[in-house]
Structure 1
Amino acid sequence: LQLGKDCTTTFGRSLQNFLQCTREAKEQRAAAVLRNVRQFISGMKNFLIQHGEPAFDSALLDIRSKLKCNEFLNVDVVLELVMHQLVTLPLRSHLYKLLGQEALAAGSVQQLLAGIRVAREIHPSSLGLKEGQSPPSTDILERATASLDRLQRAASPLDKLEQLLDACTAIYNHAAETCGDSVAAEDFLPLLAWLLAHCGFSTAEMEADFMWALLQPSLLAGEGGYFLTALSSAAQLLKNLQSRPASPSDCGSWMGTLTSMPGGGGDVSSVASTMSSIHPQTPCVLRVLVADENQSSLLARTVPLRPSMTVRDVTKLLALKLRLSNPQDFTLVALVDGQGALQLISFQLLGFSTRL
């Protein structure tokens, strides 16, 4: 931390120059500024690891000399924590100002607030809770609410992710009491949306964008990425309520359908997804039929959706859910009106969403 304030060092000068330039820059696109912050953090971490600074090298030697023979110092993790204190914390107000301006201009905050008001007035089953499902208990609700409150007050995306995981785990475990070990996205998301509405979490999408942009990709490959996607998906479910409140039998209105088949090859990355022009609401969940070669059948699996989600993102979530070590061997195929197939390679994902 002291090294970052020392402008006599290359690291300190670079850090202070970046903070000043970011605040004074004409760039007002939140995504671009957040991307620059993430790139700077990664670049300065690499600089310290590869080239170092005298004070940094001395500190590492001192710490390592105190480690036991079975202890290991993960320099990358330590640097990630410190860089967020040196970079993200000083820029926090500037970054949220940009995110807030864009959200207000796009109307997304207003839509989410309207959805939250609707969700508070309707029965939880109208959010999509299935028969037999019940809202979380008061204890679970208080724990999850406290976690989301800490999430909003935290400055570091690492701390925010930790609080999100705590809140989502509490809700997920509650869903598992009814659904068993296999909790589908359409079982979990209504509960999460109900929690967001109860908490009045109107900045959910802004917080999700903040974490997506600033967290290391490695942290988004597993549970963190799944629950962060679920946060965006639950917010979209609430936004959809303002145009038409859901009913227990209307889950298809916020669900898309695709088929996944092994093989097919090709690049599965896609361009950013957009809302289908023929669908009045943006789907929150994608149901995918996965081929089970052992049983010669199709298994239905669901994954949450978020804005700008790509085909590659969907395959990663499916690989996590199905515990697949070879997601590159699978491809996504869209079912159009229940017949005909179109392999998704570089197509817009949500443009092929259909009702069940």
Structure 2
Amino acid sequence: MMYESGETPGSGDADDLVPIIMWVLSQAGLVSAEVEADYMWGLLLPSASSGEASYYLEAFHSAIHALKNLMPSPESSPGNSLDSVKQDFSVVSDHGIMKIVIPDEKNGSIVTRTLPIRPGTTTREVCKMMAHKLKVTNPQDYGLYKLVDGIESLLTDNECPQKVKTDLTTHGFHCTFAFKRIDAKIAWPILS
């Protein structure tokens, strides 16, 4: 079973969490946040690398990375409201987060989830986070795929999905990522 009963994919994802952490960091004025995040990664036990602690640490690191790359829009005011952070965050949505589509085989639909990620996050790490987040009982049966023009290709464990997407985008291709059962046959729509 992919989801616990009553749970729907998409609830409580990084679209909401990362902007909130960004706002808190901007209000706190914590100048050593990146060093603190790296220190916490070093302290994280290997057994916790795919659990909640890892997910929230990824969200913290993603918020830091997004703040470092944040370019305020011309119409944004100097105020520090959460709404302005969310609006500005959409400008840099590729920094610190990764959108992944997931086929919901029960309902025959496709849902989108957002994960916080660090630069250099590998496919293996993304799959661990997705399996934990979706409460997948058999994670070895799932993989991360790149979707280009409706054609899927399984990414290897050591590939960096964000680098794959950047390379494809610079060559004029639109790339989306999907997390699905390896043996599932999905007729992907051509996304643009």
1:198-226 deviation per Cα after TM superposition (whole angstroms, max 9, x unaligned): 11122212111112123211233311101
Q: From the two aligned structures, give the one with the greater strand fraction.
A: 2
Q: In the alignment, is residue 352 of structure 1 matched against residue 164 of structure 2?
A: yes
**Alignment: residue pair count:** 147
Q: From the two aligned structures, give the one with the greater helix fraction.
A: 1
RCO higher in 1 or 2 (8 Å CA, sep ≥ 6)? Answer: 2
- How far apart are the structure 2 equivalents of 1:216 and 1:285? 23
Give the superposed CA RMSD.
Answer: 2.5
Consecutive unaligned residues of structure 2, counting only runs of 5 or more, are 1-9, 74-84, 166-174, 177-191
SS at match of 1:321: helix
- How far apart are the structure 1 equivalents of 2:115 and 2:66? 14
Residue 13 (structure 2) aligns with: 184
- How far apart are residue 329 of structure 1 and its match? 1.0
- Tell me if the contact between 1:309 and 1:349 (Cα under 8 Å) persists in the aligned partners: yes
The one of 104, 116, 119 equivalent to 1:292 is 104
The 5 A counterparts of 1:133-282 are 182-241=11-70, 243-245=71-73, 248=87, 251=90, 253-255=92-94
- How far apart are residue 251 of structure 1 and its match? 2.3
Q: Quick one: percent identity of the two aligned structures?
A: 35
- Tell me if the contact between 2:37 and 2:61 (Cα under 8 Å) persists in the aligned partners: yes
- Tell me if the contact between 2:144 and 2:154 (Cα under 8 Å) persists in the aligned partners: yes
Larger Rg: 1
- How far apart are residue 247 of structure 1 and its match? 7.0
Provide closer, same or farther for how the CA distance between residues 252 and 296 of structure 1 changes in structure 2, counting only shifts above 3 A.
farther
Consecutive unaligned residues of structure 1, counting only runs of 5 or more, are 1-180, 256-282
Amino acid in structure 1 at the alignment position of 2:146: A
- How far apart are the structure 1 equivalents of 2:21 and 2:154? 32
- How far apart are the structure 2 equivalents of 1:193 and 1:247? 9
- Tell me if the contact between 2:120 and 2:162 (Cα under 8 Å) persists in the aligned partners: no
- Tell me if the contact between 1:232 and 1:307 (Cα under 8 Å) persists in the aligned partners: no
- Tell me if the contact between 2:98 and 2:117 (Cα under 8 Å) persists in the aligned partners: yes
- How far apart are the structure 1 equivalents of 2:104 and 2:20? 29
- How far apart are residue 250 of structure 1 and its match? 7.0
Provide closer, same or farther for how the CA distance between residues 296 and 220 of structure 1 changes in structure 2, counting only shifts above 3 A.
same
Amino acid in structure 2 at the alignment position of 1:313: E
* TM-score using structure 2 length: 0.67
Q: In the alignment, is residue 305 of structure 1 matched against residue 122 of structure 2?
A: no
- Tell me if the contact between 2:104 and 2:111 (Cα under 8 Å) persists in the aligned partners: yes
- How far apart are the structure 1 equivalents of 2:44 and 2:152? 36
- Tell me if the contact between 2:99 and 2:113 (Cα under 8 Å) persists in the aligned partners: yes
